[in-house]
């Protein structure tokens, strides 16, 4: 095949590629630009054939420039898609929380209501605390938050920060996942689990107030408290959202309604346990260290502010916000 015939057969495709590249540089995105990867593969074949047949520097140079430009545009598009995917992942959980604001505040009430009630009970009627905590739990808390530092107690118990982290991952994420799964029981499991965590944690905090060791507990929990407690609340929201599909499936069967709702609630389903996982990391590698108390309080307060800002503002005004 002569060079002239080669150019005549493929010039229309090359011209189309150049037009798509010009539009891409001007950010004038069109549906036809999805053809660029295919055009790129054909350009590579054209360039290889032109070089093999020694069609000259002019044609080979043009094709080589087209290959480079097309590759650059495709790479930028892939990077842009990855950035968009990361942005959606970052904002999907806060968007879902704000969409489910009624269930969110219900879960907050279920968790924080008993939590603060048992702390108050420590000053007025400590028998409520003793009705919730057994002797072994109270004895363990006395050892951890008594005269010795909780850091030393944990090191003796687990041996290393990594083992502490692994224990908290297994224990706390297990609670979160059971809360989500319990929601399938017409929301009852999620409601009970969320309230139960508020009761147990409130009783534990109330007991340290009663014993006079509250400062040690608050200093230890300051760093990871925001991630762990709000992660458990979001797990409760996810479970209740799944349960609402069972209670009110609409025109769908309960199984189909549960599938649809699970897809919609997916940011909550992975968002809550992710926060709990991060809390376990902070608890194992930051809270369980001999860092000065003032620094732990500062970091803990900063994490509360950052988490609240993320839930309130992430994704706000974006195309995914309903």
For the segment 21-46, what is each residue's pLDDT rounded down to a tens digit? Answer: 888 777 776 666 678 788 888 888 88
Q: For the chain, what are the domain ranges? A: 3-89, 100-313
Residue 189 Cα to chain centre, angstroms = 23
Contact 230, 268 (CB under 8 A): no
For the segment 300-309, what is each residue's pLDDT rounded down to a tens digit? Answer: 999 999 999 9
Task: Check residue 36 and give its pLDDT.
Answer: 79
Give every CB contact of residue 55 below 8 A, 6+ residues apart in sequence. 3, 6
Q: Residue 206: name the closest of 252, 272, 141 by CA.
A: 141
For the segment 42-96, what is each residue's pLDDT rounded down to a tens digit? Answer: 888 888 888 888 888 888 888 888 888 888 877 776 555 566 666 677 788 999 9
Q: Calculate the alpha carbon distances from 2 to 11, 14, 32, 53, 143 in Å.
A: 14, 18, 31, 9, 90
For the segment 120-177, what is each residue's pLDDT rounded down to a tens digit? Answer: 988 888 888 888 888 888 888 877 777 666 766 676 676 777 787 888 888 889 999 9
Band (289; pLDDT cuts 50, 70, 90): confident
Task: Check residue 304 and give its pLDDT.
Answer: 95
Backbone Cα Rg of the chain: 29
Q: What is the C-alpha to C-alpha distance for residues 228 and 234, in angstroms, rounded to an integer?
A: 10
For the segment 225-263, what is each residue's pLDDT rounded down to a tens digit? Answer: 999 999 999 999 999 999 988 888 888 888 888 888 888
Answer yes or no: is pLDDT of 320 > 70.
no
Instruction: Give me the chain's average pLDDT, please.
Output: 85
Band (198; pLDDT cuts 50, 70, 90): very high
Contact 299, 286 (CB under 8 A): yes
Helix axes 188-211, 101-124, angle to 10 degrees: 30
Q: Can you read off the two tokens belonging to residue 213?
A: 């060791």
Contact 91, 83 (CB under 8 A): no
Task: Check residue 77 and give its pLDDT.
Answer: 63
Contact 35, 20 (CB under 8 A): yes
Task: Check residue 149 and give its pLDDT.
Answer: 65
For the segment 94-127, what is each residue's pLDDT rounded down to a tens digit? Answer: 999 999 999 999 999 999 999 999 889 888 888 8
Q: Can you read off the two tokens belonging to residue 74?
A: 């495709």
Q: Could you write out the DSSP letters of every residue in 236-295?
A: HHHHHHHHHHHH--TTS-HHHHHHHHHHHTHHHHHHHHHHHHHHHHHIIIIITS---HHH
Contact 193, 179 (CB under 8 A): yes
């Amino acid at each position: 095949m002569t060079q002239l015939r080669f150019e005549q057969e493929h010039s229309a495709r090359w011209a189309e590629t150049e037009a798509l590249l010009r539009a891409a540089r001007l950010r004038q995105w069109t549906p036809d630009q999805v053809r660029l990867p295919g055009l790129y593969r054909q350009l590579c074949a054209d360039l290889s054939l032109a070089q093999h047949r020694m069609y000259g520097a002019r044609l080979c140079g043009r094709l080589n420039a087209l290959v480079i430009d097309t590759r650059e545009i495709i790479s930028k598009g892939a990077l842009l898609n990855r950035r968009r995917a990361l942005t959606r992942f970052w904002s999907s959980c806060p968007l879902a929380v704000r969409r489910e604001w009624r269930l969110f505040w219900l879960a907050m009430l279920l968790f924080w209501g008993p939590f603060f009630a048992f702390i108050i009970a420590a000053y007025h009627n400590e028998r409520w605390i003793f009705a919730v905590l057994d002797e072994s739990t109270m004895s363990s808390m006395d050892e951890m938050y008594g005269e010795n530092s909780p850091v030393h107690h944990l090191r003796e118990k687990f041996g290393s920060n990594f083992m502490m982290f692994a224990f908290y991952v297994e224990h706390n994420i297990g609670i979160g996942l059971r809360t989500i799964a319990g929601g399938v029981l017409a929301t009852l499991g999620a409601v009970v689990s969320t309230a139960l965590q508020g009761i147990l944690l409130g009783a534990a905090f109330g007991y340290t107030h009663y014993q006079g060791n509250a400062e040690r507990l608050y200093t230890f929990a300051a760093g990871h408290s925001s991630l762990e407690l709000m992660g458990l609340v979001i797990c409760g929201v996810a479970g209740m959202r799944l349960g609402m599909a069972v209670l009110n499936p609409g025109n769908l069967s309960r199984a189909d309604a549960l599938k649809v709702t699970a897809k919609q609630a997916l940011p909550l389903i992975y968002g809550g346990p992710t926060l709990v996982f991060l809390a376990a990391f902070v608890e194992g590698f930051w809270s369980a260290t001999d860092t000065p108390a003032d620094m732990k309080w500062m970091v803990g307060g900063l994490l509360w502010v950052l988490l609240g800002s993320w839930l309130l503002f992430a994704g706000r005004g974006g195309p995914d916000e309903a």
